[in-house]
Amino acid sequence: MSETDNNFAKKQYITFSLGQERYGIELKEGKEILLPPEITRVPHTPKYVKGVINLRGGVITVLDFKDILGIDNDAIYNEEDKRIIITNIAGIVSGFMVDQMQGILTFSSEDIETENKNEMNSEFIKGIYTEGSEVIPIIDLKRLISSRKEAI
């Protein structure tokens, strides 16, 4: 593979903190990043549904990545650091609450290790990217959304 081909295969990933860990999703999956507006709780919904927000006249369901992925809420973040990542996966627009935005990384999908992803104990992890000594699980949003359609 030539260097040009290798550069073409690189993708960008949004990285963010959930608890004490850093996670990522493909940049193309994230449409917008918001400061959390007022979230209206919806009765009789699963714990991972934070509620709904009004985004330019549209109602968007906000989900909590930590509850979906089974992450302990032991890290302390300022409420001002929290963000909602708006996604549009297969026509389903939803928002995901994260503790803190970390930045954008660029790497090839070949750099994502898929063999040890089961160690992450989540069916929603597509693979693991390693940056130095840090392990960054990459979330499979398509799988996550398709499994949670009824709540969205």
pLDDT of residue 31: 95
Number of structural domains (the chain) is: 1
pLDDT of residue 138: 95
pLDDT of residue 152: 66
Residue 119's contacts (CB-CB under 8 Å, 6 or more residues apart) are none
What residues make up the domain containing 51?
3-151
CA distance 52 to 100: 20
**Nearest CA-CA partner of 136 in 23, 13, 4:** 23
**Nearest CA-CA partner of 90 in 54, 134, 142:** 142
Sign of CA dihedral 61, 66, 70, 73: negative
- The answer to whether 36 and 25 have CB atoms below 8 angstroms apart is no
The CATH number of residue 52's host domain is 2.40.50.180
Tens of each residue's pLDDT in the chain, 152 residues = 445 455 558 999 999 999 889 999 999 999 999 999 999 999 999 999 999 999 999 999 999 999 888 887 766 778 899 999 999 998 899 999 999 999 999 999 889 998 765 555 578 999 999 988 999 999 999 998 888 767 66
pLDDT of residue 79: 84
pLDDT of residue 1: 47
**Partners of 98 in beta bridges:** 83
- At 149, is the secondary structure helix, strand, or coil? helix
pLDDT of residue 117: 56
